[in-house]
């Protein structure tokens, strides 16, 4: 867990809707969280839960319909000055899920990696651009001569490293990693995760790591927030969440993690989360702190029960 509690990014009551006003769909429904400098904050949920939408809203790829996003003490959501927009582009970068779809297949690696610099640092010489590209490639374990090749000439793991190099060359302080290993083979996943972890230690980077795999989250995240249908349902330090999962949806996700022992896997009982089983007509759920640093979406009756569970667990 990161000792420094200095907030780098603050998301407050964030809402994102798609479509016309009368027929809009609210993909993110009023979520709030803080990310501290130097930590890896995990956002986990099933497909369609809204986790990628949150990342894209932070980096300003899609507009927000409510709430605000604060980065380094400045509001970066909605309409902002052009100078601040350029600052956001430099300091916040994104690693996308599909390493092939996110790279321009008609451009060589040299141009792909330096494209951000061409838009933000136009005064550099050709040699300076080349030096920066070569250093970025070497930082992610790729040879400088790869700069003259096209994306289709690389493996999936190498393409994802190119995507990481493209983000690193901007010297950001905050990186959004949107399921960066889901399209990779298991053997390559560990290499990319170790690379991201080492880069964080060397450069003091802060990550928002988005994934649907809780076992991966446990390896890389300091804190984890669980999102379901556009709302956060639980948030805690990683080990506390694994040891004492409170929300039924979190328990269902944890029960789905495969076990390395075949016999134990056969006997394992999966938990199914059915929101319809919860009656909130008289006592609606609220986002509250069940214990220090352990937040959960629950009504007053549930919150009392969860607090008792955590007290007995101490």
d(CA 253, CA 231): 15
Total tally of structural domains belonging to the chain = 1
**Could you tell me if residue 311 is inside a domain?**
no
Q: Which two tokens stand for residue 258?
A: 């495969």
d(CA 52, CA 268): 30
Sheet holding 206-211, edge to edge: 92-95, 174-178, 206-211, 40-44, 223-228, 231-237, 294-298, 286-291
Could you tell me the pTM of the whole model?
Answer: 0.92
pLDDT-derived band of residue 2, with 50, 70 and 90 as boundaries?
A: low
Range of the domain at 170: 7-277
d(CA 296, CA 292): 11
List residues bridging with 26 in a β-sheet.
17
d(CA 137, CA 99): 15
pLDDT the model gives residue 199:
92
**Could you tell me if residue 301 is inside a domain?**
no
Close Cβ partners of 198 (under 8 Å, ≥ 6 residues apart): none
What would the pLDDT profile of 239-292 be if each residue is shown by its tens digit?
999 999 999 999 999 998 888 888 888 888 888 888 877 778 888 999 999 999
**Could you tell me if residue 27 is inside a domain?**
yes
**Could you tell me if residue 309 is inside a domain?**
no
Cβ atoms of residues 43 and 227 within 8 Å:
yes
Of the listed ranges 66-70, 146-150, 216-220, 222-226, the least confidently predicted one is 216-220
What would the pLDDT profile of 167-202 be if each residue is shown by its tens digit?
999 999 999 999 888 877 777 888 888 889 999 999
**Could you tell me if residue 283 is inside a domain?**
no
Please check the confidence at residue 70 and state whether its pLDDT lies above 90.
yes
In sign, the C-alpha dihedral spanning 186, 191, 192, 198 is positive
Q: By three-state DSSP, how is residue 40 classified?
A: strand
In sign, the C-alpha dihedral spanning 39, 41, 42, 47 is negative
d(CA 61, CA 53): 9
d(CA 153, CA 145): 13
**Could you tell me if residue 220 is inside a domain?**
yes
**Could you tell me if residue 300 is inside a domain?**
no
Percent residues over pLDDT 70 in the chain: 98
**In this structure, what CATH number is given to the domain that contains residue 148?**
3.40.50.300
Q: Tell me whether strands 206-211 and 40-44 are parallel, antiparallel or unpaired.
A: parallel
**Could you tell me if residue 126 is inside a domain?**
yes
């Amino acid at each position: 867990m990161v000792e420094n509690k200095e907030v780098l990014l603050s998301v407050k009551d964030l809402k994102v809707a798609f479509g016309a006003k009368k027929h809009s769909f609210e993909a993110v429904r009023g979520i709030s969280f803080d990310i501290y400098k130097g930590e890896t904050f995990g956002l986990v949920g099933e497909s369609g839960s809204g986790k990628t939408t949150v990342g894209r809203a932070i980096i300003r790829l899609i507009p927000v319909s409510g709430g605000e996003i604060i980065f380094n003490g400045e509001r970066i959501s909605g309409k902002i000055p052009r100078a601040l927009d350029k600052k956001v582009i430099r300091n916040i970068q994104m690693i996308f899920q599909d390493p092939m779809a996110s790279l321009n297949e008609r451009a060589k690696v040299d141009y792909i990696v330096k494209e951000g610099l061409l838009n933000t640092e136009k005064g550099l010489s050709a040699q300076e651009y080349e030096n920066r590209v070569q250093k970025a490639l070497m930082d992610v374990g790729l040879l400088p001569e790869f700069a003259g090749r096209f994306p289709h000439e690389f493996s999936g793991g190498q393409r994802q490293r190119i995507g990481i190099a493209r983000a690193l060359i901007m010297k950001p302080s905050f990186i959004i990693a949107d399921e960066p290993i889901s399209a990779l083979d298991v053997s390559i996943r560990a290499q990319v995760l170790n690379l991201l972890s080492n880069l964080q230690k060397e450069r003091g980077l802060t990550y928002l790591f988005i994934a649907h795999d809780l076992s991966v989250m446990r390896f890389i995240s300091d804190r984890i927030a669980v999102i379901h249908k556009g709302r956060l349902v639980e948030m805690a330090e990683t080990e506390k969440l694994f040891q004492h999962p409170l929300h039924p949806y979190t328990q269902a996700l944890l029960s789905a993690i495969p076990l390395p022992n075949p016999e134990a896997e056969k006997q394992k009982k999966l938990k199914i989360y059915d929101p319809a089983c919860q009656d909130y007509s008289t006592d609606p759920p609220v986002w509250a702190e069940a214990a220090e640093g352990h937040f959960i979406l629950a009504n007053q009756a549930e919150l009392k029960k969860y607090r008792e569970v955590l007290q007995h667990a101490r």
